[in-house]
Structure 1
Amino acid sequence: MWVMKKLSIILCLILSVYWLIPHVVIYFYAGLNLTRLGLKNAWLSVDGLKKMPNLTHLTLEFSRLDDEDLNQLNECFPCLHTLNLIGVGGLKDPKIHLLQLKTCRWEVSNVPRSLAVLAPNLVSLELKCVRPDKLILDTPSLSTLKLTIEKLGATVQVDGLASLTDLRIESLDLSYLFLVFVGSRAIRMLELELPESASQYDLLEAVNPDYLLKMLARISEVKLGPRFSCGLTLCLALCKDSGFKSCLKKLLIHVPQSESSFQLLPLFQICAPLCEVTVLFHAESADAIRQGAMLICMKSFAGIRWQWGTWK
């Protein structure tokens, strides 16, 4: 009884549902007390949408939104703290412009011409997209960015990233992404992964091995995903110089299953004294391979604090 009463206070939806056609059309109106709203697998119209000043959390998943620039969303939900747009279609030049937004997860389902996030109080952004022609991030408080992108377009405006410290990149467009997002910034933690479609040779073609090694040496904490670690073994074999000052204090890497691919010694050479290194062996790798690698690492780099584990 209490649940029904609560729902009647915070949410009033008028649903027009057509079960025999492959979409659902939803026209929704909500009361002033609504604070959280989540909708999934819907076709959403913003005609007549009322302003919801108390709404702080909004999640739209796998839906079509008839608001191609997100102007109505910005106007009607001005006090959002959390926004999740996952697989939302119907967008052309979407711009998130929310002054109180703090966390955002945006997985773009189509290929809009531009993407923009203007949010002065945003601290965490997870952005997954393909190749927008224009990307604008004006987020001066942003400290954590998780970026999955195929390729950056010609126009990138990311000057508003003065507070960025934690960065995750999943892409093959690494040379450009390093220049734009790492460059002169004081990145503390960097996590790298390759797309699922990437082969172990793609990383070698995407970035110069020596440049990559120097870039990693500038970061305090580095995490390398399984696919990136696999491609890295080929890159390290071609590195010519590792004799430079390093800031690397903490490293996590996944060791590929094949014994011949364990060519990670040049990476350990850039670890700062007393660096903490976590090595995760593939769960199906032979015990003899693990033991041999551990002995080589501990003997060659006695100043490193080693931790060992497995991954699948």
Structure 2
Amino acid sequence: MVVIPFETIPTPSIQLSCLIFPFPLQFFSMDDLPPSLVVDILSRLTDSADVARCRVASKTLNSLTREVRSLNLLCTLSRYLKSRSPETKDHVTPFKAIFNNLVGQAPCLNSISIGVDKSLRNISYDDVDDESDDLYLTDVGFVKEWLPKVCGDLGKLSISDFWIQSCWRKSQILSLISSCCNGLMELEVKNAWLSVDGLNPMTRLTSLTLEFIRLEDEDLNKVNECFPSLQVLNLVGVGGLKDPKIHLLHLKSCLWTVSNAPLSLTIFAPNLVKLRLKCIKPKSLVLDTPLLSDFHLSVEEASDFRVKEFHNLGNLHLESSSLCCLLGMFPSGKSVRKLTVNSLKWTATIKFRLEAVFDVFPNATYLNIGPGAWCEAENCFRKGGLEDRNALKELREIVANLVVYDIEVTLSFIFSILDKCTKLSDMALLFHPKGDYKLARSLIPRCTAYCPRVKWRWGMREGPKDTWVSVGM
């Protein structure tokens, strides 16, 4: 391990000493480290404001900061509040000035990320001067000051704007980027109103992320035209679209979340492999993606759902308020082996029978049943039992997200599944916080006693992560 003395560095946030080496603990001055290693460390700093501080820490650092390849600068909520406070604002260096200085001192950059912290989203319009532009980061005038200096080697660019200052200003930044950055491969823009006027083709761009962006249908058509080599496309909360179409021949991965409705969504992507699509109530959904193998679809209602048959689809995740209707809109899903289903509305009035899943996906060997879908399926079981289907016998693994209200009904449902799924070898019970935890835990010994051949796990859903416990083989 190398431990570098930091007495001369005026901030504790620089963590160069965390680098691990396969030789005994020693102390070095910065001059003892290979220059290439120092440059690599400086390029990995998560806050490039530390790079500026390093310049006054040592002569070696001062000279090597010009060789850093990556710049990451984020305006935090703390910094923002200090810049607005009458007591401290005169002592805070403008954010844009810090960034311009860093860019000017590092001509070899191949990656730039500038933005505001997510916590600034909670800033109220009433607290902001509408004419202010100190954090308007997609301002073409500001970007013109620094982009031409580094565009030659730039391969990745990320700009996350301050929505309060950017939402009412239409930015021409895409035109500027496309005219300067011929070698750019990854582009990410967040929280802005973008114009595509003057957008030039960028044939080397393979990854594009637009998050909380204001666009129009013709703008998206221009994106299809000018970014023909895209392999990764992420559209998150892009507003202003009415009948958007994605037409990209080389696209392999796509994340698309649509918040407004109703819409007609069309994706033509003959090489698309992975698609995560979330929408509300589209008028129609047209997918021409013959190579799709991993598909996550979340939709409240789909009145017109059309797809060509997915011959390569192996992993499918379906969420809907009308799950049965959505299942009926799929063509034969014989290729699907891994399946997740869930209902977005927990209601006893909607009839979702577990057997319906296997009418469409008869060869699934893994099934994850979300809490909404389990609740509806259990209600149907209570009224009519579980029908005997040959397809059920193909299942090897089940993950059941349970909300236990009546333990005897839940047990009867689980036992019926076990009787039908003769090849089942692994079953996990994940208890939802809405249910009775003590009651739910009492399921475990009865399940393991009923079917000891199955490997059992149980867990609790706690926030975004689940806690699992293995209880038997």
Query: C-alpha distance in 2, partners of 1:190/1:126?
Result: 14
1:121-155 Cα offsets, whole Å, 9 max, x none, are 1110001112222211111111011001111123x
Aligned match for 1:258, one of 390, 400, 405: 405
Aligned position for 1:134: 284
Aligned residue identity for 2:289: T
- 1:93–1:114 Cα contact (<8 Å) kept: yes
1:239 aligns with 2:387: no
CA deviation map 1:195-242 (0-9, x unaligned): 2xx23415xx24346535766765211001233333332222123344
| Structure in which a larger fraction of residues adopt strand | 1
The yes-or-no answer on 1:171 pairing with 2:320 is yes
CA radius of gyration, larger in:
2
Whether the aligned pair in 2 keeps the contact of 1:39 and 1:60 (CA below 8 Å) is yes
What is the SS of the residue equivalent to 2:396? strand
- Identity of matched residues, %: 34
95-104 vs 237-246, greater mean Cα deviation: 237-246
Distance 1:123 1:104 in 2: 9
Name the aligned partner's letter for residue 36 of structure 1: E
1:4-19 alignment to 2 at 5 Å? 4=103, 5=107, 6=109, 7=112, 8-9=150-151, 10=154
Distance 1:298 1:108, change over 3 A: same
AA partner of residue 399 (structure 2): L
Q: Which runs of 5+ in 2 are unaligned?
A: 1-65, 71-102, 113-149, 463-473
Separation in structure 1 between the aligned mates of residue 236 and residue 436 of structure 2, nearest angstrom: 36
CA distance in 2, matches of 1:133, 1:19: 32
**Cα displacement (A) at 1:253:** 0.7
Deviation at 1:23, TM superposition (A): 2.4
Amino acid aligned to 2:372: R
Question: Residue 162 of structure 1 is aligned with which of 311, 324, 327?
Answer: 311
Structure 1 match to 2:348: 201
Note the 1:60-99 alignment, pairs <5 A: 60-68=210-218, 70-99=220-249
Q: CA deviation at 1:73?
A: 0.6
Aligned match of 1:185 in 334, 351, 354? 334
Q: CA deviation at 1:57?
A: 1.0
Q: Which moved more, 1:130-139 or 1:265-274?
A: 265-274
Amino acid at match of 1:153: S
**Structure 1, unaligned runs of 5 or more:** none
Paired residues in the alignment total 305
RCO comparison, higher one (Cα < 8 Å, 6+): 1
Judge which range, 78-87 or 250-259, deviates more: 250-259
1:34 equivalenced with 2:184 (yes/no): yes
The range that moved more, 275-284 or 121-130, is 275-284
Give the alignment's TM-score, normalised by structure 2: 0.58
Distance 1:160-1:74 versus aligned 2 partners, 3 A rule: farther
Pairwise CA distance, 1:163: 1.2
The question of 1:114 aligning with 2:261 is answered no
Question: Which whole-Å CA distance do the structure 2 matches of 1:86 and 1:244 have between them?
Answer: 40
Q: Is the 8 A contact 2:352 2:373 kept in 1?
A: no
